[in-house]
């Protein structure tokens, strides 16, 4: 008898957690959609909603068509998909390494991808496709290098973070040197890789990003089921029948591809990957996968920060500056809390 009651209460708790997860995810999705609408509607000239909609449908509306189709739509799509990619990628690494400090920056993905991309642009004069592939490969190589070095005599996340900071410093030095020897007309393409901004994103840059997110996000989300088991620790996961290495490699590959391709369009938008996971976790609660909510939080962060950067001040700030100013204090706050609890 008691057993039945226990099961019933477990099921009730599970249902409650699911409802919370579902409600929070829906709210986040609605918020993202609203922000997308704002991205299309707001601008230096404000067109009536009907004009914006007609322009989206492909009709030629004087003025509105150019603003919406050529400037605002690519900007909105880039922010949406790149934010989603950063959010989900950051969440995956944070969960996999069981540490909120793990993010594409510390793991060297950002610096590795950027260094390789800048090298391809400046030295090899490669085309966009080659640059993107090189960025993905170098991002993966950087993670593996940092992970390998930090296995040293005994793996610890602290060691990994310190080595990550060191590798990042070296790669950034290489980037500075490449910048110096680059030709004048390569500079804009190089800068794209160095600072996060949605300015000047064009429609033809988007298909690779959207394709990659549509392919890899479902894979990563599907594997996210295993992630919650991985969170229990290596031994439990193995005994529950999860092929931990295969799952890890696939998750890492999917995340790095998404992050690197998103970076190729928007540049590294500071702290989004780092912030999205913890915010999503706070909103959806424990128990269900945080991958999709983290992606949505990432998109919401990028879109909202871009709107703030565009319209809140007399000067237009690129989105990366806004997320940097929001993210860095949160990082400090997190450190203070982790130090107090003795988690570091």
| Residues that bind another protein in the complex, under the rule CB under 8 A | 101, 149-150, 152-154, 156, 158-159, 161-163, 165-167, 169-170, 172-174, 176-177, 180-181, 270-271, 314-315, 317, 321, 324-325, 327-329, 331-332, 335-336, 338-342, 344
Residue pair 291/91 in contact (Cβ under 8 Å)? The answer is yes
Two tokens at 49?
């909603």
Closest contact distance (angstroms) between CB of 98 and another protein is 15
Smaller CB separation from another protein, 10 or 344: 344
- Say if residues 116 and 134 touch (Cβ distance below 8 Å): yes
Question: Where would I find the H helices in the chain?
Answer: 2-41, 49-56, 64-65, 73-96, 109-119, 128-151, 157-181, 187-192, 206-230, 234-239, 244-266, 272-284, 291-311, 319-341
Distance (Å, rounded) from C-alpha 215 to C-alpha 22? 23
Nearer to another protein, 167 or 230 (CB): 167
What is the closest distance, in whole angstroms, from the C-beta atom of residue 311 to another protein in the complex?
Answer: 15
DSSP letter at 184?
Answer: G
Q: Of 172 and 186, which CB lies nearer to another protein in the complex structure?
A: 172
Shortest Å distance, C-beta 73 to another protein: 26
- In the chain, what is the straight-line distance between the N-terminal and C-terminal CA atoms, in Å? 45
Q: Which is nearer to another protein, 108 or 224 (CB)?
A: 108
- Residue closer to another protein by CB (options 188, 329) is 329
Minimum separation from the CB atom of position 138 to another protein (A): 17
Residue 98 DSSP SS3:
coil
Closer of 22 and 311 to another protein (Cβ) = 311
CB of 265 to another protein, least distance (A): 21
Q: CB 111 → another protein: shortest distance, Å? A: 11
For residue 246, what is the DSSP state? H
188 neighbors 202 (Cβ within 8 angstroms): no
């Amino acid at each position: 008898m008691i057993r039945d009651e226990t099961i019933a209460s477990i099921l009730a708790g599970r249902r409650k957690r699911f409802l919370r997860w579902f409600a929070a995810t829906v709210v986040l999705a609605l918020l993202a959609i609203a922000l997308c609408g704002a991205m299309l509607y707001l601008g230096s000239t404000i067109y009536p909603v009907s004009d914006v909609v007609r322009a989206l449908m492909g009709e030629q509306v004087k003025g509105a068509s150019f603003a919406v189709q050529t400037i605002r739509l690519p900007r909105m799509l880039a922010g949406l998909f790149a934010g989603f990619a950063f959010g989900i990628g950051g969440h995956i690494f944070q969960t996999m390494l069981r540490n909120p400090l793990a993010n594409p920056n510390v793991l060297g993905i950002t610096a590795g991808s950027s260094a390789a991309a800048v090298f391809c642009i400046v030295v090899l004069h490669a085309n966009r496709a080659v640059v993107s592939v090189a960025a993905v490969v170098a991002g993966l190589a950087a993670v593996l290098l940092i992970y390998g070095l930090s296995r040293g005599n005994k793996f610890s996340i602290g060691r990994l973070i310190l080595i990550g900071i060191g590798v990042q410093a070296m790669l950034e030095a290489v980037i500075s040197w490449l910048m110096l020897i680059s030709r004048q007309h390569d500079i804009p393409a190089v800068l794209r890789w160095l600072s996060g901004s949605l300015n000047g994103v064009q429609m033809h840059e988007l298909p690779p990003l959207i394709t990659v997110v549509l392919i890899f996000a479902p894979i990563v989300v599907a594997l996210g089921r295993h992630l919650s088991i991985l969170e229990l620790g290596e031994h439990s996961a193995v005994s529950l029948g999860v092929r931990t290495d295969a799952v890890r490699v696939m998750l890492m590959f999917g995340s790095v591809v998404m992050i690197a391709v998103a970076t190729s369009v928007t540049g590294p938008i500071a702290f989004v990957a780092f912030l999205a996971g913890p915010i999503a976790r706070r909103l959806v609660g424990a128990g269900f996968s945080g991958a999709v909510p983290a992606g949505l939080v990432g998109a919401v962060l990028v879109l909202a920060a871009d709107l703030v950067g565009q319209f809140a001040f007399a000067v237009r700030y690129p989105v990366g500056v806004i997320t940097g100013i929001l993210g860095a204090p949160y990082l400090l706050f997190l450190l203070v809390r982790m130090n107090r609890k003795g988690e570091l």
